[in-house]
Amino acid sequence: MNPQSKDRALPRVRNIIQLPTKPLNSEEWDKLKEDFKGKANFEDWIISQMAHCNSSVDVAKSLLAWVAAKNNGIVGYNLLVKYLYLCVCHKQTSEVFDVYEIMKTRYKSLESGGNTLLIRGLIHSERWKEALLLLEDIKKVMTPSKKNYNDCIQGALLHQDVNIAWNLYQELLGHDLIPMMETLKAFFDFGKDIKDDQYSNKLLDILLYLRNNQLYPEESFAHSIKTWFESVPEGQWKGKFTTIQRSGQCLGCGKNIESIHLSPEEYEFLKGKIMRDVIDGGDQYKKTTPQELKRFQNFVKYCPPFDIVIDGLNVAKMFPKARESQVLLDVVSQLAKQNLRVLVLGRKHMLMPCARWRKDEMEKVQKQASCFFADNISEDDPFLLYATLHSGNHCKFITKDLMRDHKACLPDAKTQRLFFKWQQGHQLAIINRLPGSKITFQHILSYDTVVQTTGNSWHIPYDEDLVERYSYEVPTKWLCLQRKT
């Protein structure tokens, strides 16, 4: 488009109009509507496009003025909310106030989307406490989202009301919501200017929360943590960004990171909890009949302990372009060559010969591994957990499943933490299958990738900005904090 063009609306393209770049008058809006060939309602379509393209508030305001002039001063809720969205995006606080007043006058209550936008639009202004009233309105019909809490906490900290911020944080945790990382970062950023032991202890509690929930801060949050520690008066903390050697030794300070291995007592405790709470007591296993679970338990009872338990269907489908039975055979063959006792858990349909499941390959699988084929409606996970735990602490398992559901079934933070630690130390991930059937497994680390402290030191694994990792991977970058003693 020629920037000198005097047309304030862009020309039509394939019967779909392009968005105005400057406010239009009534006649120009009439003409644009006439040119519109879409099936949707013109006003709804154009405001949605404006919201999507982050158009200027002035252009959207001219649309609302045109609509109001045609409808005795009335603008519909959908148009108001999309206009409000643009006002919030462009931080046009006075416009947010105007829309808020219109909505308060016209509607007894707003849906959560409208409330969420108003909260975000109000927190940066002197009327930020009205955002807390809107949060209360949301609570009357549903649990507010972690974004709602994030906005209100950010508003409270911005306006120096620390008590309200911490109360909202506790409320958020009370709803079993996982806070946004930017919420936690905001507390650390605010803490740089506060010399208060009580506040400091609450920040350390946030780090323990990250530990207990296996959460990793993002890089910018890790920088905020480092800055806060180094700002503590008389704390004499010094931080550096580093990595951990395969042996588990921190390259920053030379100390060893916690081992990934469970003690015999921890293992027996976790095994008992999983057997009782996940396998025997979970409603999520209604697809698995008690008779089948019993049949499986008897099968395992009369087998020697296994070294590796494979979720056969899950593993076979890891490489979509390859034949399922071939992938499964490749994995089993490679493990069997290492003289490992392997159990393959599968479904009965895998034994029905077809293009994806060749009979000769499945027979080779059965020669090299013990196999248990469950009914096609069964859940695989209880069998996988049972066989692995029953075989002992040396036994590993292979699946892509993250097993979040099972962690959720466990009754307390301690058991959930042990389950995650056990999973990290026992779940083998397949990361590649090379020509010639060679399978590459992800190396299981000897140390525990979790926030940890000795009192005079903290080690915090963090996610690098813009670096994506697979779910089975853990961060490789660490913040090492040491207190000079």
The reported pLDDT for the residue numbered 12 is 44
Question: Percent helix, strand and coil across the chain, each rounded to 5?
Answer: 50, 10, 35
pLDDT digits (tens, 9 = 90+) for 122-164: 999 999 999 999 999 999 999 999 999 999 999 999 999 999 9
pLDDT > 70? residue 448: yes
Calculate the alpha carbon distances from 24 to 40, 56, 91, 186 in Å.
21, 12, 22, 41
Alpha-carbon dihedral angle through residues 120, 125, 126, 127, given to the nearest 10 degrees: -30
Q: Which of 184-188, 268-272, 412-416 has the lowest mean pLDDT?
A: 412-416
* DSSP secondary structure string for all residues of 166-198: HHHHHHHHHTTPPPPHHHHHHHHHHHTT---HH
pLDDT digits (tens, 9 = 90+) for 55-97: 999 999 999 999 999 998 888 899 999 999 999 999 999 999 9
Count Cα atoms within 13 angstroms, Cβ side, for 342: 24
pLDDT > 60? residue 110: yes
Distance of CA 57 to the CA centre of its chain: 33
What residues are paired with 428 via a beta bridge? 398
- Tokens at residue 424, please? 């990290």
Distance of CA 69 to the CA centre of its chain: 46
Whether residue 80 contacts residue 102, with contact meaning beta carbons closer than 8 Å, is answered with yes
Cα separation, 204 vs 218, in Å, equals: 17
- Tokens at residue 233, please? 């008066």
Quote the radius of gyration of the chain (alpha carbons, Å).
29
Whether residue 168 contacts residue 131, with contact meaning beta carbons closer than 8 Å, is answered with no
Q: Give the residue carrying structure tokens 């000198």.
A: 4
- Tokens at residue 251, please? 């390259």
The reported pLDDT for the residue numbered 16 is 66
Q: Which among 429, 406, 481 is positioned nearest to 451, based on CA atoms?
A: 481
pLDDT > 60? residue 6: no
Q: What are phi and psi of 440, to 5 degrees?
A: -105, 125
Cα separation, 67 vs 45, in Å, equals: 13
Length of the chain: 485
Whether residue 457 contacts residue 451, with contact meaning beta carbons closer than 8 Å, is answered with no
pLDDT > 80? residue 429: yes
- Tokens at residue 135, please? 């949060």
Cα separation, 382 vs 387, in Å, equals: 9
Model confidence band, residue 254 (pLDDT cutoffs 50, 70, 90)? very high
Q: What are phi and psi of 249, to 5 degrees?
A: -90, 130
- Tokens at residue 281, please? 């007591």
- Tokens at residue 208, please? 């323990």
Mean pLDDT of 169-179: 95
Helices 146-158, 129-139: crossing angle, 10 deg rounding: 160
